[in-house]
Amino acid sequence: RGNFEHAYQLLTSYFAEVRLVDRDLVFYIQTTSCKEKRFTRCFWCFGLPKKTYKLLRPIIVIDETFLKGRYRRTLLIAIVIDPSNHIFPLAVLIIDSKTTESWTYFLEMFGSNFHG
């Protein structure tokens, strides 16, 4: 079992590894600009959903859940239902706190990746 700090430090490495098999992966990790960088948010969407998005049902569901542990965060996710009635994730955002700014950021990032 690792610790939370170490897990957040590995996010960039994790996405770099995923990009080896998914060249169209989009991810942005934002931290504070102070000396000791502090996680503020992380957005990602995988390449396949971007390519097949227009073939899926035209209803997008956006939901949120709370992440528990030492660092309380919020996870926002946009999903669709595929033709086999399976949940198909489109985009994910992990944020420090749920604010109008964070929702705006999520919707803008979603729009630029799926409608841009």
pLDDT tens, position by position, 17-52: 999 999 999 999 988 877 777 888 999 998 888 888
Closest residue by Cα to residue 26 from 84, 90, 94: 90
Q: How much is the pLDDT for 12?
A: 86
Q: Tokens in use for 8?
A: 């957040």
Note the Cα 34 to chain centre separation in Å. Answer: 23
Closest residue by Cα to residue 81 from 72, 69, 90, 73: 90
For residue 53, what is the DSSP state? G
Query: What is the rounded CA–CA span in Å between residue 116 and residue 106?
Result: 14
Tens digits of per-residue pLDDT, 52-68? 877 787 889 999 998 88
Q: How much is the pLDDT for 1?
A: 61
pTM score of the predicted model: 0.84
pLDDT > 90 fraction of the chain, expressed in percent and rounded: 39
